[in-house]
Structure formats: C-alpha cells, structure tokens
C-alpha cells in the first residue's frame, strides 16, 4: 500500500494521490460517498454546479466574480489546471496555497484509510473534489461554484447537493465514458439536475434525453431561448427573462458571441437564487467587465498577436474559428501551434478551424494519451492538403519557431488541448522573466 507523504510538500501529495487508484477515471459515487459520510461533508453553504461540454470554466468564473462583487465569500473549484494545481481551488479569487491543500489532502487520506485493511481507492479527481469541499467548509464560504469534471451523473462533484445546476452545452466528447451520441451524453449531463431545484440549460438544441430527465424529476427547468436569453445591443447586451427585458449589462470581457450564452446562464442561475443570495445588478455588470479566464481566447502578446485557447473538440473549435474570423485582417497570416490528445476528434477539430489557418506547427504531447505529431500532420494533409505543416517535439518548440517566422502583424494561435496551452504558457513565462 502506498504511504502518504510525511512532509507537507504539494508535489509529493499530488504524486501520491495519482497512484491511489489503478484508473485515472473511474465513474461512480459510491467511494466518494463513503468519505463524505466518514467526514460529515454535508455543506451548509449554497452550491451551484456547472456541467457541460464547453463553457463550464467561463460560466464558473462569471458566477465567482458576480458573487464576490456582491460581497459574499466565494469558493470556486474547477479543473483541469494549466500550470499549478492550486488554480483548481480558490477562495475569493485567490488560489489556495500549498500548505492548505496538503492539509486538506491529509484529512481526506485519513478518512480514506480509516479501515486500514480496506482503504477506499479514490481517483486523483475524487481526492481533489473532496479536499476542495473540506477546505470550503473549513473556510466557511457563503457559496461554492463547482465545475463538473466529466459528464455529470457519476462525477464526484455530483455527490454534493446543488441549490442550482447548470448544463452549458452538449456535444460529442469523452465518448468512451459518456456515450457516442448527444442523447447519451445529454442524459449523463442531466444527472446534475435535482427535483424542484433550479436547472439551467444553455444548449440551444438540447437532446430529448436531457429534457425528458428534467421533466421526469420535476426540476425547476429553464431553457435558453425559451425561458431566458440575451439580445446584443449597440452598447452591451440585454438579459431577457420570460420574454421580458430584465437587465442591461456591459459585454463580457471574455471574447466571442458564445460567451453571451455562458453569461446568460450565469445570470439565470443568480436570478433563481435571489431569495437565498441577493445580488444587485451593479455586481453583475462589474463582474461581466472583470471576468477573464486563462486559456480562453487569451491574448499574451500583441506583436505578433499570440492567442491561447484550450479548444479540444469540434464545438469549441468552431467557436475559436468564429473568433479568429471576426478579428482577421486580410494582410496578416495565422500560424497554428497545435497538439491534441489521441482520444479526441482530431479530424473534427481540424475541419472546424482550417479555413482560418495558414500554417500548422504540430507537436507531440508528453502524455500517454498524446497524439503523435505525425498523426496530426496526416489528418491535416487529408483535410487541407495544400496547407504548410511542420512537426515539433513539443508545443513550446513549435511556439518558439512560430515566433521566429511570424511578422508583427501576424497571429499565432495555440490550441488543441489544456496540455498544449500549458506547455506554451510555461515557455512564455520563462522568456518574460
């Protein structure tokens, strides 16, 4: 049996919890519920759960800032991280420090191993989720925003009862775990909904499976375009509730028309909880203008214009292409620094964005699931046979060459995976120290 680290070193703890379960992903709530009961992890704070194929991170960030601006103490748990594990657990916008995380991991591990003969085999994500809730309880937060890691119904986050649950969007991703159709995936994501609890859906054409599930449990269901929505105006946007204008708000700092869907979901959730956690419109407006999320069409340099985006499925790639097209200039070229995991829809991502890319700098990912650069190159050759395509050992090297080749009016867009963006983020940080 693995032995827990004696010192409070975060890297040691992360290596330890990564080895606790033979699988990196093991669906089901039984193991998590055991620890919840052993530690009495029954939060009294308000919980908003956020599920969806894309848009979860942006929606969580908006909600976090809205409630912070309204004066509440807010916990926020998201995944995955880009550079530091600490990014996953924040209180009032500040990452939890190493020592505090180690303390939380120690508490979870003590409960996990309470029966020394039959320790509970938790996954990395399960330990992290339990540790985040334990810390939020210790910190006495007023409200916690919890991002579902994968799916919904059987995700560790779903072991905790929400006061409101959001499904932002539904598309084909993680099909080996969730199913190979939108109907199957929609059912899994609908599992975050609860009877008579506000259930927000930001998908414009939700699968029947999600609609049927929400109806069958009598969730307080609210659907974008039907029960709430948004209208773009010359100076911002309008939040519409039950067909009536409710708020005039400034455009989100996050770029892309699709971010209005995420913003509308966030406001719909806030509205559904006004009787529990009152929020003035001024807090909503200020949060819209202040919310940014690393790796979501994030600009890190202007000459050349370097954009980081974690788009890793066709739905997200189409949104990325829309943003690139909106800001394109006929005189500039766009270089893609591109690397993906092999279990993702690589041809679908390439097809979604290829019209906006002039050159592809493809790279390996140092991960067991990483797609070889040569595989990416072959997929690009099938979809865009005339495109210029170069191969590199890693995304950082691809990015370095792209910086050499790009003119000051050109764009470099880094995308395809959280790992891709993380690799370039770290390389960029080293060059700017």
Kindly state the average pLDDT of the residues 128-154: 96
Give residue 157's pLDDT band: very low, low, confident or very high (50, 70, 90). very high
**Cα-only R_g, the chain:** 22
Q: Write out the residue limits of the CATH 3.40.1190.10 domain(s) in the chain.
A: 10-290
Element (H, E) at 231: strand 228-232
Round to whole Å and give the CA distance between 25 and 154: 11
CA 349 – CA 316 distance, rounded (Å): 8
Delimit the CATH 3.90.190.20 region(s) of the chain: 298-431
- Report d(CA 110, CA 122) in Å as an integer: 12
Close Cβ partners of 386 (under 8 Å, ≥ 6 residues apart): none
Average pLDDT over residues 324-352: 90
Say what the pLDDT of residue 433 is: 62
Q: Is the pLDDT score of 113 beyond 80?
A: yes
Tens of pLDDT along 270-303? Answer: 999 999 999 999 999 999 999 999 999 999 999 9
Q: Give the least confident one: 67-71, 139-143, 294-298.
A: 294-298
Tell me the average pLDDT across 328-343. Answer: 87
Q: Which of 255, 419, 248, 257 lies closest to 343 in space, CA to CA?
A: 419
Tell me the pLDDT band of 329, cut-offs 50, 70 and 90.
low
Task: Read off the pLDDT of each residue in 400-423 and give the average, rounded to a whole number.
Answer: 95
Q: What is the CATH number of domain 10-290?
A: 3.40.1190.10
In sequence order, the β-bridge partners of residue 47 are 144
Which of 143, 121, 124 minimizes the C-alpha distance to 133?
143
Q: In what order do the strands lie in the sheet with 237-241?
A: 228-232, 237-241, 244-249
- The DSSP string of 238-297 is EEEETTEEEEEEPPPSS-STHHHHHHHHHHHHHHHTTTTS---HHHHHHHHHH---TTSS
pLDDT: which is higher, 381 or 176: 381
| Nearest CA-CA partner of 264 in 236, 224, 303 | 224
93 has a pLDDT exceeding 90: yes
Distance CA 35, CA 206 (A): 34
232: three-class secondary structure by DSSP: strand
**Model confidence at 410, in pLDDT bands (50, 70, 90)?**
very high
Q: Is the pLDDT of residue 178 over 90?
A: no
Q: What is the pLDDT of residue 150?
A: 87
The candidate with the shortest Cα–Cα distance to 224, out of 262, 251, 255, is 262
pTM here is 0.94
For residue 237, the tally of other CB atoms under 10 A from its CB is 21
Query: What is the structure's pLDDT at 297?
Result: 94
**Spatial separation of the C-alpha atoms in residues 200 and 264, rounded to whole Å:** 10
- List phi, psi (to 5°) of 240: -110, 130
**C-alpha to C-alpha distance for 183 and 246, rounded to whole angstroms:** 33
Mean pLDDT of the chain: 94
Written out in words, the top-level CATH class of the domain with range 298-431 is alpha beta
**Residue 179: its pLDDT value, please?**
83
- Determine the average pLDDT of the residues in 335-341: 97
- The confidence score (pLDDT) of residue 1 equals 56
CA–CA dist 210, 157 (Å, integer)? 19
Q: pLDDT band for position 175 (50/70/90)?
A: confident
Per-residue confidence band for 330, with pLDDT thresholds at 50, 70 and 90: low
Q: What is the pLDDT of residue 429?
A: 84
Is the peptide bond prior to 80 cis by the omega test (within 30 degrees of 0)?
yes
At residue 51 the predicted structure's pLDDT band, cuts being 50, 70 and 90, is very high
pLDDT digits (tens, 9 = 90+) for 15-47: 999 988 877 777 789 999 999 999 999 999 999
DSSP category for residue 387 = S
CA atoms within 13 A on the CB side of 144: 29
């Amino acid at each position: 049996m693995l032995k827990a680290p004696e010192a409070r070193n975060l890297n040691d703890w992360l290596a330890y919890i990564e080895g606790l379960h033979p699988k990196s992903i093991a669906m089901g709530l039984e193991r998590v519920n055991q620890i919840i009961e052993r530690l009495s992890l029954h939060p009294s704070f308000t919980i908003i759960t956020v599920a969806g194929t894309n848009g979860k991170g942006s929606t969580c960030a908006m909600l976090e800032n809205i409630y912070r601006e309204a004066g509440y103490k807010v916990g926020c748990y998201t995944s995955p991280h880009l550079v530091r594990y600490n990014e996953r657990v924040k209180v009032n916008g500040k990452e939890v420090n190493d020592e505090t995380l180690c303390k939380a991991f120690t508490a979870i591990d003590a409960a996990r191993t309470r029966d020394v003969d039959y320790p509970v085999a938790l996954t990395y994500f399960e330990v992290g989720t339990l540790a985040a809730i334990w810390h939020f309880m210790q910190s006495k937060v007023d409200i916690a925003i919890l991002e579902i890691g994968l799916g919904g119904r059987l995700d560790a986050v779903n072991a905790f009862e929400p006061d409101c649950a959001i499904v932002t969007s539904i598309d084909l991703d993680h099909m080996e775990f969730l199913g190979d159709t939108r109907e199957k995936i929609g059912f899994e994501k609908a599992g975050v909904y609860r009877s008579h609890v506000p259930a927000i859906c930001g998908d414009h054409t939700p699968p029947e499976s999600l609609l049927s599930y929400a109806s069958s449990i009598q969730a307080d269901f609210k659907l974008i375009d039907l029960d709430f929505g948004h209208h773009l105006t010359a100076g911002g946007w309008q939040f519409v509730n039950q067909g009536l204008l409710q708020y005039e708000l400034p455009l989100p700092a996050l770029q892309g028309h699709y971010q209005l869907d995420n913003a509308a979901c966030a406001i719909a959730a806030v509205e559904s909880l006004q009787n529990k956690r009152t929020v003035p419109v001024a807090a909503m407006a200020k949060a819209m203008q202040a919310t940014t999320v690393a790796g979501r069409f994030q600009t890190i340099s202007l000459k050349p214009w370097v954009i980081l985006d974690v788009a890793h499925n066709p739905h997200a790639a189409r949104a990325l292409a829309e943003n690139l097209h909106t800001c394109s200039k006929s005189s500039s070229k766009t270089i893609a620094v591109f690397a993906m995991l092999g279990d993702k829809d690589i041809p679908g991502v390439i097809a979604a964005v290829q019209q906006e890319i002039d050159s592809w700098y493809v790279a390996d990912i140092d991960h067991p699931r990483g797609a070889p650069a040569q595989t990416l190159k072959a997929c690009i050759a099938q979809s865009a046979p005339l495109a210029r395509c170069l191969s590199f050992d890693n995304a950082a090297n691809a990015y370095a060459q792209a910086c050499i080749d790009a003119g000051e009016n050109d764009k470099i867009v880094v995308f395809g995976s959280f790992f891709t963006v993380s690799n370039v983020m770290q390389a960029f940080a080293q060059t700017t120290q």
